Structure 1
Amino acid sequence: MKRPIPFSYPNRLFLLWFLCCLSGLAFAQPPRGPLVVSPQINDDKTVTFRYLAPAASAVKLSAQFEKAPVPMTKGEQGIWSVTVGPVKPDIYPYSFQVDGVTVMDPANVAFFPNERFKASLVDVPGDKPLIHAMRDVAHGAVTYEYYPSVSGTTGSVVVYTPPGYDKNTSQKYPVYYLISGTTDTEETFFKVGKTNLILDNLIADGKAKPMIIVMPYGNIAARIAEQKGGSKPADPTVRDGDDAIKRANDFGNDLIGNIIPYVDKNYRTIADRNNRAIGGFSRGGGQTLRAAFGHMDKFAWVCSYSSYLSPQEMDKNFPQIGSNPDNTNKQLKLLWVSVGSDDFLYKGTVEFMDYLKAKKVNYKSLITDGGHTWMNVKKYVAETTPLLFQ
């Protein structure tokens, strides 16, 4: 007959240690609060936003479709909520103000890529699919690429290749270099501008030619500082000041000397100016105009979204554009300028268009409602890409 093993003092210590470990593992797991659904898009195009903050004394919704922050109401389990709208179908950034502190929506995975605060995004669908909506069409691919850049740094770009790119391995494509604005990143035209879905839909409808779109990061100074262990420099205080122009030229040199050669080497591009376009929004639009006017041998298609160059800078740095309009008009297959009527850059952009008109430089323009927003940028991309490479 087997005798039971005595429960000795060391065994008791081991058991106590084991139970403590189990208890520690249990307490190491963060507590799960109530399920919060936010944003909730309702059938009537109203949108309900919710935020869990049991200890907060005040929570407000700040959204680009609202003129001022909207107070939210505290409900059961400390969930604050508000229903607003109906909201015009589009994609909008929003955030919450919790006791005066701005925060993202933790219940929402969609966010606005930015160097500073990253707002959340709400996509209100239309009754009919909007140009940026996901449709049942052939889709292109989006790839993140890294290339050797200036000062020994590594640059980053997001690249869209059209439907069929991987199958039609003998076909070459034109390229559109598309640059986002101040504080934006190389992801913004993709994640907020939905450029890939816009092109998928336009190509499926036969309205745009299949093309490669390259979306670079425009803040060279910030990237150098980040990778060299320095502090990110503040943005230039004057849009057409010496510092802003130098930074734009630094980006242009990186684009011409590094990005374009990398793309031409690694993708099936038609590597000539007639099959190369450049465009950009805000700061990216200024970089676009400076790079294009300074390298007319590289680009035949130029799109400026909510941006401009002053007549003084044009006469000083790019006198050939206005002094020989016949040659300029012969070289540029498209010069596009667009801006919103409420955009803070509206006055300067109209002045730029007046300058081109006075110099008899051909251009196409579009003035829309609204301000300096990505809602307008999507419109400009949808209007211009069907014109490229035709």
Structure 2
Amino acid sequence: MNQQTTGRFWLLWAILCLCNTAIAQPPRGPLVVSPQVNTDKTVTFRYLAPTAKAVKLSAQFLKAPIEMSKDAQGIWSVTTEPVKPDIYPYSFQVDGVTVMDPANVAFFPNERFKASLVDVPGDTPLIHAMRDVPHGSINYEYYPSLDGTTGSLVVYTPPGYDQNPAKKYPVFYLISGTTDTEETFFKVGKTNLILDNLIAEGKAKPMIVVMPYGNIAARIAEQKGGAKPADPTVRDGADAIKRANDFATDLVSKVIPYIEKNYRAVANRESRAIGGFSRGGGQTLRTAFGNLDKFAWVCSYSSYLSPAEMDQNFPQIGGNPQNTNKQLKLFWVSVGSDDFLYKGTVEFMDYLKAKNVVFKSLITDGGHTWMNVKKYVAETTPLLFQ
């Protein structure tokens, strides 16, 4: 093959490659930047949908969804009023269908709904903000769970963990709510950054935080080829209690041994705390009350047990308050004043008071939200292991 022929061959090969690339790559639309947090704390949201007839923004800082307007390129947008600094879930309603923001990589891990997240920073960094402090690590773990299945965990280790191989740490087992996953306390609750900041300020002791997946029944069904069961409809019904007991069995017999084998955890009840939000709060209370030989620190966020369940399943808690108070170094109950579980949580507090069970409580503004959960984590972690 002469030089001229060789040159033509490579030119033809380059043209074919370019043609194949053009065929393989779908045409790109206009660049969409969303969300855009502005200096005045207003936020601009955008969504590309040239053929949509109506697009609305739904966000947890809004009282109701708001209409968006479309430009000539087919990008729908809206700029909100100034938003109070925090992290909020949001989504778009496109012709009545709820979708995430495809321009945003930050999302809310959840089994049922799929929302994106917008972080509106404060003028002074909030407790969950990324700050210039030493940072811990996040690890994903898999462990042998119930019925021969494989469970999943997210584990936070504090700053200095890898640099101090002889040091052991207390452990906080932290359980998220109904339909949440093991990632939610990490990606939405920012527990790792809250601990990093509190430890740097000297307000919290370095600790390991273990975040398990709370829906044992769904995982067993998924891994055994069955249909995912619906969530229990009655919080203290037989199905809900059975699932909570299964979770407690998994945590005590599987998760704790796995953590104490694979991490430098202090293996005694005084060095174990348990806490949770919503369903995770109910799992916290049932697991702790049934295993006070394992836990000395208990934090219930936006959750409760009914007086009837307490008397039937955990009579020792109120029946012997002196022993309960001696065993629990911290018993925490918190809820928002607009939370749909507010009434039941207050009744739970009244029950504890009537039984002379000592606990700390916090009632905040707001509802059943992760904005409140971050507050509760920031308030309770400085109290643990002191």
Q: Which TM-score applies when normalising by structure 1?
A: 0.95
Partner of 2:161: 165
- Structure 1 CA distance, aligned partners of 2:124 and 2:134? 19
Partner of 2:171: 175
Q: Which of 202, 206, 210 pairs up with 1:210?
A: 206
Q: Which of 264, 279, 282 pairs up with 1:286?
A: 282
Per-residue deviation, 1:20: 7.0
Partner of 2:328: 332
Partner of 1:298: 294
What does residue range 1-390 of structure 1 map to in structure 2 within 5 Å? 23-390=19-386
Which amino acid counterpart does residue 136 of structure 1 have in structure 2? D
Q: Extract structure 1 runs of 4+ deviating beyond 3 A.
A: 15-25
Per-residue deviation, 1:204: 0.2
Per-residue deviation, 1:75: 0.9
Q: Which has the larger radius of gyration?
A: 1
Per-residue deviation, 1:58: 0.5
Which amino acid counterpart does residue 115 of structure 1 have in structure 2? E
- Structure 2 CA distance, aligned partners of 1:22 and 1:110? 34
SS at match of 1:168: coil
- Structure 1 CA distance, aligned partners of 2:21 and 2:31? 23
- Structure 1 CA distance, aligned partners of 2:206 and 2:316? 32
Which amino acid counterpart does residue 301 of structure 1 have in structure 2? W
- Structure 2 CA distance, aligned partners of 1:387 and 1:28? 57
Instruction: Note closer, same or farther for the CA distance 1:159–1:17 as it changes in structure 2 (3 Å cut).
Output: closer
- Structure 1 CA distance, aligned partners of 2:123 and 2:18? 53
Deviation per CA, 1:234-291: give whole Å up to 9, x if none. 0000011000000000000000000000000000011000000000000000000000
SS at match of 2:142: strand
Which amino acid counterpart does residue 324 of structure 1 have in structure 2? N
Which amino acid counterpart does residue 162 of structure 1 have in structure 2? P
Q: Which TM-score applies when normalising by structure 2?
A: 0.96
Per-residue deviation, 1:230: 1.1
- Structure 2 CA distance, aligned partners of 1:20 and 1:389? 66
Deviation per CA, 1:180-204: give whole Å up to 9, x if none. 0000000000000000000000000
**What 5-or-longer segments of structure 2 have no aligned partner?**
none
SS at match of 2:77: strand
Per-residue deviation, 1:117: 2.1
- Structure 1 CA distance, aligned partners of 2:382 and 2:15? 67
Per-residue deviation, 1:19: 6.8
- Structure 2 CA distance, aligned partners of 1:16 and 1:132? 56
Per-residue deviation, 1:21: 7.3
- Structure 1 CA distance, aligned partners of 2:36 and 2:151? 38
Which amino acid counterpart does residue 269 of structure 2 have in structure 1? R
SS at match of 2:62: coil
Which amino acid counterpart does residue 323 of structure 1 have in structure 2? G
SS at match of 1:76: coil
**What 5-or-longer segments of structure 1 have no aligned partner?**
6-10
Per-residue deviation, 1:76: 2.5
Partner of 1:8: none
Instruction: Note closer, same or farther for the CA distance 1:41–1:18 as it changes in structure 2 (3 Å cut).
Output: closer
SS at match of 2:385: coil
Per-residue deviation, 1:25: 3.7
- Structure 1 CA distance, aligned partners of 2:335 and 2:153? 25
Per-residue deviation, 1:368: 0.1
Per-residue deviation, 1:28: 1.9
- Structure 2 CA distance, aligned partners of 1:16 and 1:67? 60
SS at match of 1:117: coil
